[in-house]
Amino acid sequence: MARANWRERIEAARVQRVAAQRTRVRRTVTHRDGARVQVDGQNLLNFCGNDYLGLSQHFAVIGALQDTAAREGAGGVASHLVCGHHAVHEALERELAEWIGAPRALLFGSGYLANLAVVQALLDDQSVCVQDRLNHASLIDAARLTGCRLRRYPHGDPEGAIRQLRSMPEQMAMLVTDGVFSMDGDVAPLRELALVARLQKALLYVDDAHGVGVLGPDGRGSVAAARLGVAEVPLQLATLGKALGGYGAAVLGEEDVIGHLAETARPYIYTTAIPPAQAAATLAAVRLARSEHWRRDKLRDLVARFRERAQGRGLELMESSTPIQPVLCGDDGRALALAQALEHAGYWVAPIRPPTVPEGKARLRVTLSALHGIGDVDGLVDTLAKARDRAELGLPIVDAAPAEPVAVRRFAPVR
């Protein structure tokens, strides 16, 4: 039998993606200025980033990055356990742990690496990992790579979780969920899941990438918002690249569990530490996120404004109170066309299609930031509703003549 040809497989997969309107195109940003960006030669108002608190360009964050890079260089040099663990890494871990309310934190290069590390270090092929069906891809991949038994329960269904755990009563178990789901924007039922984990003697791990900085008292995330602590949630993940505007992630939890990860987790042991300058920038961002409550207050007001206006115009929203506000389109082609119409009018919103979301659930993933204003939100909703109306009348969604572009203003760094 002839060996399968890898070039033919690649080409067949590409043809299939084109036919299904599921090709992915990388866009090039040439400049960022607050919520406004220049991308592929266009000036657009960005509604698809995750800079929820608007900290990525804050003068104190940029200043910390520049000052530390000038003193300590551009790179992390080595892994943490060799010679890459810098004093600023230590300071950031302490600050994060104090903020979130956990005994200890451990830095990673990304949330993806952190999730691989947690599952790989704590489970084996005799264990079971029970996960929400809409968990982030990194959590699913982590369980598959570990070789443990992966069981998934219906989205947001604690009873489904307990059924899965009861079906494998002898195995060591981990119950894993996103805190805020990245494509739906809803919050996991953490109090109910904590009860399930306690009754089934499972370790509860919460990936709070989209919750930390945004939800809970002082922005401590979805776990704190649910009035839970490390006793109920022994491990949680905080990303440094969303509300905190930087890059990397941290796993926070009990001292002995974090110590175990530091000594055994392959994605921690065998990778270079994040640059000290990046850690310093994130340290500055954490301090701002903890103290500047007006950012979360403004974000909540913008979310409420968007939902009120969108529902008033008959747009189909999902149940989300977070800055992630999906607008359901259903059909892949419709989502693409509406995103094109928005871009034509000066708004950048990402169309999200399967396999990232379930079949028939294509959507526009609108994300809000403290950098946006009320007029920005109103303009987006009005433009989207008009494009939807044109589509329903069978008219071209995009006018032949381009709309006036969203004005690009030059801002001083956000203070």
68 is an annotated ligand-binding site residue: no
Please choose, from the candidates 134, 137, 139, the residue with its C-alpha nearest in 3D space to the C-alpha of residue 326: 134
Query: How far is the C-alpha of 175 from the C-alpha of 161, rounded, in Å?
Result: 8
Q: Do residues 289 and 55 make contact, with C-beta atoms less than 8 angstroms apart? A: yes
CA distances from 257 to 34, 187, 207, 279 (A): 39, 25, 16, 23
Query: How far is the C-alpha of 394 from the C-alpha of 385, rounded, in Å?
Result: 14
User: Could you give the count of Cα atoms lying within 13 Å of 346 in the half-sphere of its Cβ?
Assistant: 16
356 is an annotated ligand-binding site residue: yes
Q: Do residues 62 and 413 make contact, with C-beta atoms less than 8 angstroms apart? A: yes
89 is an annotated ligand-binding site residue: no
372 is an annotated ligand-binding site residue: no
Q: Do residues 208 and 180 make contact, with C-beta atoms less than 8 angstroms apart? A: yes
52 is an annotated ligand-binding site residue: no
Number of residues that make up the chain: 415
Q: Which two tokens stand for residue 335?
A: 């989502």
Q: Do residues 51 and 245 make contact, with C-beta atoms less than 8 angstroms apart? A: yes
Q: Is the dihedral of CA 40, 46, 48, 51 positive or negative?
A: positive
Burial of 287 per CB tally in 10 Å (0-12, 13-18, 19+): middle
Q: Which residues contact 185 (CB under 8 A, 6 or more apart)?
A: 210, 318, 320, 321, 322, 323, 324, 325, 326
177 is an annotated ligand-binding site residue: no
The answer to whether the peptide bond before residue 396 is cis (omega within 30 degrees of 0) is no
At residue 376's C-alpha, the angle toward residues 374 and 377, to 5°, is 65
253 is an annotated ligand-binding site residue: no
Q: In what order do the strands lie in the sheet with 362-367?
A: 324-330, 362-367, 350-352
Q: Do residues 370 and 311 make contact, with C-beta atoms less than 8 angstroms apart? A: no
34 is an annotated ligand-binding site residue: no
Report the run of H or E that residue 389 belongs to, with start and end: helix 374-392
The b-or-e profile of 253-272 (16+ CB within 10 A means b, else e) is bbeebbeebbeebebbbebe
Task: Report the amino acid identity of residue 169.
Answer: P
Q: Map tokens 């950098």 to a residue.
A: 371
Task: Report the amino acid identity of residue 38.
Answer: Q
Instruction: Mark the binding-site residues for pyridoxal 5'-phosphate, compressed into ranges.
Output: 111-112, 182, 210, 239
Instruction: Mark the binding-site residues, compressed into ranges.
Output: 24, 111-112, 136, 182, 210, 239, 356
Instruction: Mark the binding-site residues for substrate, compressed into ranges.
Output: 24, 136, 356
